[in-house]
Each structure stands twice: as C-alpha cells, then as structure tokens.
C-alpha cells in the first residue's frame, strides 16, 4: 500500500492544502451562470439564464456527413496532434467568415483556439501582472471577469448607454486609473449585441474609442461572438476592420455553428500573435485537429451562410416573443431591445435584489442570471439577464409569466414588511440615460 502525503498543518478542515495554493488561485470563483446550469437543466424549469445556442436548428445530417468524410479521408490526421496555430485550411475559412464583416488578413494572422474563451485567457496571461488594470464595460461578460480575476487583474468598469460604451466615461476611467498610479493593459469590449446588455456600439463611438485608445497607448481586445447574428441589418464594422496594430479580435464558431466543437480564434498584431501561439502551445499543445477538420469540411460543403440566416430568424422570433411578453406582464420595468445576439437586459426597481430573488424564481420553475454576475465590483443588484436563444417561444412566454409571479411576489413581500409604508414603485424609462443609466 502506497503511503499518503502528509498535508501541511496550516490548511483547513475542508481543504488541507488551502495555504499551499498560488496567490492567483484566490481569484478563482464559481460562475453564477455555470452554477445555474444544474438547476436550469431540469426539464420542469424554464431556463432564461444560459446563453446556449439553439443547436437543434443546425442540420445534423450535414454535420454527421462532414464527420464521416473527415474520418474516411483524413482519419489519421484528425486523430493526431496538430499545429499549435491551427489547421491552415480552417484558418482560410476563418478569413472568409471575417470578410463578411470587413476584416481582412492572411492565414498566418489567425490563431485557432479552444473556443474564444481560451483566447481571452491567453491574452490576459500574456499581458497581466497582479494589480494591472483592465478596462471593461459596465456590465461585462461574466466569463471574461472570471479570467481577469484569475490573473489578479483589477477591473475598472466603464459606463454604457443605449449606444454602447460612452467615450467620455472611457476618458474619465483612464484618467482616474492613472491618477491612482495604476497601469492599464487593455480595454475589453463586446461591441456587437453585448453580453449581457444586448446593446450595440454605434459607428461614431467606434471611431472615437479607437482614437482615445490610440492616443493613450491602450490595446483593445474586441470580443465578437454575435456579430453575424443580427436581425434587421448588420452592425457597424468591427474595430479590427479599421485598426490592425491596436486591436486583438476574438471570434468563435460556438454561436454560429455549435459550441461543442470548442473552436474559436484570435487575429492579432504580428508580435502579439507570435506570443499567443507560444502561449497556446504551452497551455494545450494544439487545438483539436478533429474539431477543426470537421468545421472546415462543413464550411467547405454546406451552405453555412444560409444556416446563419436560419439562426437569425430563430433568434429574432424568440427575441420578439420575449419583448412582447415583458410588455404584457411587466410593463413597469425597463429593458433593452437588441437587434441581434442572445440577450435582453432588464432593470428592476432599485429596492429589489436579483441575486436574493433567484431562489424564489427557481421555486417557481424559472431561471435567469442575476446582474451581479456581470460586475467585478458587486454592481448590478437590480439587473437581470434574460436569454432568449435556447427556449422555444412557448417556453419564453411561460417563463416570463413565472418571472412575473416572482417579481410581484417579491414586491408584495417587501411592501408587507416595510415599516414606513408602501414602497414607491418605479416606472423607469426604456432608455439607458434617463433616469440614471440602467447599466451604471
């Protein structure tokens, strides 16, 4: 029988190795979104929480055919180690995908990653020392906040409104951080159909924000998983399309094809790209050759543009259903009305706490994501993110009715126990700017 190592005596009853972890391990925490999946996956719960694509709209026979051809024609290659930068043929296809939004480049510019989440991790790993500052919208993607925390970055939120990131707020944030003697490493932004806010950065602001970052010597990390999933018309051109040297662009097949393949990509300035490849090889050796070849075969043989258009129709119908249900059942609240993507951002009365309200919601068999998940500083208490991408229109209507029961019940409870009388019911404008920004 092998002897067991003796853990240090400075640990805890729950974790005897507690005091031996690296300092950066303190930044690892459970994502509120991931924590919801176990509950939301129960069939009786209507999940308006996770941003899961509706993969059932993808013709499975086309994907199966692509898999079969890859195994028959390229099996030994598909099952082998590959390049740390990714399969060249897939990188050519990625250039075709990005060309739809006006981004050009060469095959050598593209780095294939294990989802764009890995690209986020690699960029942060390359640039962040403990205490460095990352500028990010308020609110911001929960997965990015988790990565930033894990590398001990300080996240400085920058206010948004219904036209996206506010340039003057960006200037103020830069001045404030530098006044405190801290180092800003990059601006992280989701300009198209923002997660979680659903808003899109306007074209004039894109130009202004690029000018600010260029003048201040600040790198931009542009995360664009939703850009092709527009409804009425495409969003303004990506930041990367007009700025090569100051922008790292992240893309993904998770939203326009399927997340199970775990294939994303980054396109970066030359020197950064070389370091990203080395960092990727250090982390995983290489992305999955099988997944890359299957996606490449699918893009080569299927009408993938038509399929993306099908997804647009599915998501637009579901968004419209959600907006109509909110208007019918919760007219006193305010929310965003996105022109693409997956999310509606809802503002509750100031006296409600979406995180504390969540157990009541689960009891009523509906799930959402509390706004606090999207702020590094604990903000967003009276915000909730609703995802319309996965549930059917019928489930969305049912989920909003259940959510109405939860919110009205919470208001009634607070009014009952409020010693000073009834709470003042707010009727905020459907705008980010009057009264004070919903995203602040």
Condensed to tens digits (0 to 9), the pLDDT of residues 83-120 reads 999 999 999 999 999 999 999 999 999 999 999 999 99
Q: What is the pLDDT of residues 175-204, one digit of tens each?
A: 999 999 999 999 999 999 999 999 999 999
HSE, side-chain direction, 13 A CA sphere, residue 259:
12
106: its two tokens: 């060469």
Q: What is the pLDDT of residues 111-169, one digit of tens each?
A: 999 999 999 999 999 999 999 999 999 999 999 999 999 999 999 999 999 999 999 99
* Same-domain check for residues 150 and 274: yes
* Same-domain check for residues 286 and 340: no
Q: Is the pLDDT of residue 341 over 60?
A: yes
Does some domain include residue 365? yes
pLDDT band at residue 30 using 50, 70 and 90 as cut-offs = low
Out of 266, 285, 301, pick the residue that ends a domain. Answer: 301
Tokens 């995802």, residue located: 387
* Same-domain check for residues 243 and 366: no
* Same-domain check for residues 222 and 341: no
Q: What is the mean pLDDT of residues 364-384?
A: 95
Q: What is the pLDDT of residues 292-312, one digit of tens each?
A: 999 999 999 999 999 999 999
Does some domain include residue 435? no
Give the pLDDT confidence score for residue 415 in this predicted structure: 80
Does some domain include residue 439? no
Out of 301, 317, 348, pick the residue that ends a domain. Answer: 301
193: left (phi over 0), alpha (psi -120 to 50) or beta: left
pTM beyond 0.85: the answer is yes
* Same-domain check for residues 311 and 277: no
Which residues are within 8 A (CB) of 5 and not within 5 positions of it... i.e. 6 or more apart? none
Contact 54, 314 (CB under 8 A): yes
Give the Cα separation of 196 and 374 in Å (integer): 7
> What percent of the chain shows pLDDT beyond 70?
89
Q: What is the pLDDT of residues 222-238, one digit of tens each?
A: 999 999 999 999 999 99
What 3-state DSSP class applies to 116?
helix
147: its two tokens: 């990565």
* Same-domain check for residues 98 and 141: yes
Contact 372, 354 (CB under 8 A): yes
CA distances from 182 to 172, 173, 188, 212 (A): 14, 11, 17, 18
Q: Give the CATH number, domain containing residue 288.
A: 3.40.640.10
Q: What is the pLDDT of residues 386-396, one digit of tens each?
A: 999 999 999 99
Give one DSSP letter per residue of 364-429, joined into a string.
TTEE-EEGGGG-TTS--TTEEEEE-SSS-HHHHHHHHHHHHHHHHHHHHHHHHH-TTSSPPPP---
* Same-domain check for residues 44 and 115: no
Out of 275, 301, 327, pick the residue that ends a domain. Answer: 301
Does some domain include residue 336? yes
Does some domain include residue 17? no
Phi/psi of residue 414, each to 5°?
-65, -40
* Same-domain check for residues 162 and 29: no
Contact 63, 258 (CB under 8 A): yes
Residue 147 burial by CB count (10 A; 0-12/13-18/19+): exposed, middle or buried? buried
Work out the number of other CB atoms within 10 angstroms of the CB of residue 197.
28
Total domain count, the chain? 2
Q: Are strands 184-189 and 264-267 parallel, antiparallel or unpaired?
A: unpaired
Give the structural domain span for 295.
67-301
Does some domain include residue 425? no
Does some domain include residue 61? no
CA distances from 33 to 36, 149, 203, 257 (A): 5, 16, 31, 21
* Same-domain check for residues 52 and 123: no
Which segments of 271-368 are extended strands (E)?
Answer: 334-335, 343-347, 366-367
pLDDT band at residue 23 using 50, 70 and 90 as cut-offs = confident
Q: Is the pLDDT of residue 250 over 90?
A: yes
Give the pLDDT confidence score for residue 54 in this predicted structure: 94
Q: Is the pLDDT of residue 12 over 90?
A: no
- Residue 162 DSSP class: T
Give the Cα separation of 347 and 107 in Å (integer): 43
Q: Is the pLDDT of residue 18 over 60?
A: yes
- Residue 332 DSSP class: T
Q: Give the CATH number, domain containing residue 389.
A: 3.90.1150.10
Q: Is the pLDDT of residue 427 over 50?
A: no
| Of 234, 161, 233, 172, nearest in space to 198 by CA | 161
β-sheet bridge partners, residue 335: 346
241: its two tokens: 């399309």
Give CA angle at 146 (83, 192), nearest 5°: 75
* Same-domain check for residues 132 and 156: yes
pLDDT band at residue 6 using 50, 70 and 90 as cut-offs = low
* Same-domain check for residues 297 and 336: no
* Same-domain check for residues 95 and 224: yes
Q: Are strands 154-161 and 219-223 parallel, antiparallel or unpaired?
A: unpaired
Give one DSSP letter per residue of 2-66, joined into a string.
PPPP---TTS-SS-TTGGGS-GGGGG----HHHHHHHHHTSTTSEE-SS----GGGS-HHHHHHH
- Residue 340 DSSP class: B
Give the Cα separation of 268 and 251 in Å (integer): 12
**Average pLDDT, whole number, for the chain?**
90
CA distances from 233 to 163, 227, 309, 325 (A): 16, 11, 11, 24
Give the pLDDT confidence score for residue 384 in this predicted structure: 97
HSE, side-chain direction, 13 A CA sphere, residue 75:
4
pLDDT band at residue 436 using 50, 70 and 90 as cut-offs = very low
Give the pLDDT confidence score for residue 424 in this predicted structure: 52
Q: What is the mean pLDDT of residues 354-366?
A: 93
Give the pLDDT confidence score for residue 429 in this predicted structure: 37
71: its two tokens: 């195994």
Does some domain include residue 393? yes
Q: Are strands 247-252 and 219-223 parallel, antiparallel or unpaired?
A: parallel
pLDDT band at residue 9 using 50, 70 and 90 as cut-offs = low
Q: What is the mean pLDDT of residues 339-358?
A: 96
Contact 335, 346 (CB under 8 A): yes
Give the Cα separation of 203 and 189 in Å (integer): 14
């Amino acid at each position: 029988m092998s002897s067991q190592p003796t853990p240090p005596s400075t640990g805890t009853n729950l974790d005897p190795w507690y005091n031996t972890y690296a300092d950066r391990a303190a930044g690892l925490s459970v994502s509120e979104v991931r924590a919801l999946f176990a509950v939301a996956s129960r069939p009786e719960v209507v999940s308006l929480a996770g941003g899961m694509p509706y993969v059932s709209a993808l013709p499975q026979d086309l994907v199966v055919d692509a898999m079969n051809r890859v195994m028959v024609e390229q099996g030994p290659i598909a099952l082998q180690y590959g390049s740390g930068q990714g399969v060249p043929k897939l990188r050519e296809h990625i250039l075709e995908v990005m060309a739809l939004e006006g981004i050009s480049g060469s095959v050598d510019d593209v780095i294939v990653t294990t989802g764009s989440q890995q690209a986020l991790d690699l960029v942060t790993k390359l640039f962040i020392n403990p205490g460095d500052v990352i500028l990010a919208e308020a609110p911001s993607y929960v997965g990015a906040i988790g990565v930033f925390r894990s590398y001990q970055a300080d996240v400085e939120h920058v206010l948004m409104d219904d036209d996206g990131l506010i340039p003057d707020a960006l200037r103020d944030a830069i001045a404030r951080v530098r006044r405190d003697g801290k180092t800003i490493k990059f601006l992280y932004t989701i300009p198209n159909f923002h997660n979680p806010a659903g808003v899109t950065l306007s074209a004039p602001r894109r130009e202004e924000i690029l000018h600010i970052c260029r003048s201040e010597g600040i790198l931009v990390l542009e995360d664009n998983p939703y850009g092709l999933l527009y409804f009425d018309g495409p969003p303004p051109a990506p930041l990367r399309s007009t700025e090569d040297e100051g922008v790292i662009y992240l893309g993904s097949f998770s939203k326009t094809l399927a997340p199970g393949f775990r294939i994303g990509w980054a396109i970066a300035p030359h020197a950064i790209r070389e370091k990203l490849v080395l960092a990727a090889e250090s982390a995983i050796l290489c992305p999955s050759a099988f997944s890359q070849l299957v996606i490449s075969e699918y893009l080569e043989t299927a009408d993938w543009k038509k399929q993306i258009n099908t997804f647009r129709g599915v998501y637009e119908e579901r968004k419209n259903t959600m907006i109509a249900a909110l208007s019918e059942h919760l007219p006193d609240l305010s929310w965003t009305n996105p022109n693409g993507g997956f999310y509606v951002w809802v503002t509750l009365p100031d006296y409600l706490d979406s995180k504390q309200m969540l157990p009541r919601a689960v009891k009523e068999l509906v799930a959402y994501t509390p706004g606090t998940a999207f702020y590094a500083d604990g903000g967003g208490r009276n915000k909730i993110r609703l995802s319309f991408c996965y549930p059917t229109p019928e489930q969305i209507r049912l989920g909003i009715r259940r959510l109405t029961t939860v919110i009205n019940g919470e208001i009634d409870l607070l009014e009952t126990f409020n010693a000073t009388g009834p709470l003042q019911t707010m009727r905020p404008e459907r705008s980010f700017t009057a009264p004070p920004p919903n995203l602040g």
